[in-house]
Amino acid sequence: MDAGTLIGHPGLLPSVVYIAGYGRSGSTLLDTLLGSHPAMFGAGEVASFFETWPDGGRCSCGQGYAECAFWPNVVSRAQAAFPALKELSSEEITARTRRVESSFSPLSSGSPSDRQFYGDLWRAMLSAIQQESGKSIVVDSSKSSRAVSRRIWALSELVGAKVRVLHLVRDPRALMWSAVRGSNRLLEAGRPAALSGGVLRALVGWSLANASVHAARAQNPHLSFLQLRYEDLAGNPAHVLRGLGAFLDVDFEPVVERIAKQLPFDPGHGVGGNRMRRQGPIRIAVDEEWKQALPRYARVLASLSWPLASQYGYDVLRSSN
């Protein structure tokens, strides 16, 4: 079957706002703010949906996926458009997706059959999300780890979606402190949360993920990219949102008004994200705990990130900030 016949004309697909970068950089906050706009749906880390769907994962609404009022209907719509979803296990769907998206894959972007499958799958999923949410823009905050390093290209070239990319960055020292505090999922479950590799793993992950975004920008010159910093977003969200409005051609004044009135933001129906999204309505606050708490050895190690960090305005060569 030709990929384009599954859902009809590509114009029926929603456009995609893709949040790229490293985890723990504020993507949950940005996804939630964007998803509160009447025309936008914050889907969260939707690339991992088929990994978390069968194992009791929870939607950001607080319900397990099976009990959620949104995602079971999305799956049903997608299965109707792409019947192969009924026949394959979540493991097989994930494996075929990763062979296209991941830089771990031995093939450059999967086999021809994997690429065909990928296009069919994510056209069906994006169309189903649009139909179920009634929103014309889907926010995908799957970011840029090696497992999804080719997702921006794949959504644009194989799915045919209009993709605009927000490259969200954060001071690497803040990410290193987040690693010291531990795993979001374990903290949420009330379990010991130490991360294997600690600050070094966070620093390497931050460097690779952000370098991956720069590579994607160079390899996809036809796509629009905009870089923004977590510190600016959390510190002055109204100003940042107005700037995003010009980039995305969206009027964010309804969201800015909520911020001005200090109203909380509903966590919506997002996949993944950190635990703040499953702890009730979200309020905006700058997290700068690392400035006092990050160990000195980690500050010294952070100087290795200088080539990239300096591009983003972070003076990591200073012992304190």
CB atoms within 10 A of CB 39: 15
Per-residue pLDDT of the chain in tens (321 residues, 90 and over written 9): 333 333 334 448 999 999 999 999 999 999 999 999 999 999 999 999 999 888 778 899 989 998 999 999 999 999 999 999 999 999 999 999 999 999 776 667 788 999 999 999 999 999 999 999 999 999 999 999 999 999 999 999 999 999 999 999 999 999 999 888 765 554 444 544 444 458 899 999 999 999 999 999 999 999 999 999 999 999 999 999 999 999 999 999 999 999 998 888 888 999 987 655 545 566 677 788 899 989 898 999 999 999 999 999 999 997 644
> Tokens representing 123?
């056209």
Name the residue range of residue 135's domain: 9-172+221-287
Q: Does residue 273 fall inside a structural domain?
A: yes
Q: Does residue 261 fall inside a structural domain?
A: yes
Could you tell me if 15 and 164 are in contact, meaning their C-beta atoms sit under 8 angstroms apart?
yes
Long-range pairs, 234-239, Cβ under 8 A, ≥24:
234/26, 234/29, 234/284, 234/285, 234/286, 234/287, 235/286, 237/33, 237/284
Q: Does residue 148 fall inside a structural domain?
A: yes
Q: Does residue 182 fall inside a structural domain?
A: no
Q: How far, in Å, CA of 137 to CA of 35, rounded?
A: 9
Q: Does residue 4 fall inside a structural domain?
A: no
Q: Does residue 204 fall inside a structural domain?
A: no
Q: Does residue 250 fall inside a structural domain?
A: yes
Q: According to DSSP H, which parts of the chain are helical? A: 27-35, 49-52, 71-81, 84-87, 90-101, 112-133, 151-154, 172-181, 184-188, 198-219, 230-235, 237-248, 253-260, 290-293, 296-302, 306-309
Q: Which residue reads 């840029």 in tokens?
A: 144
Question: For the whole model, what pTM was predicted?
Answer: 0.90
The CATH code of the domain that includes 98 is 3.40.50
Q: Does residue 319 fall inside a structural domain?
A: no
The number of domains in the chain is 1
17: left (phi over 0), alpha (psi -120 to 50) or beta: beta
CB-side neighbour CA atoms (13 Å) of 111:
4
- Interstrand relation of 163-169 and 224-229 (parallel, antiparallel or unpaired): parallel
Smallest CA-to-CA distance from 195 within 215, 216, 180 is with 180
CB atoms within 10 A of CB 288: 15
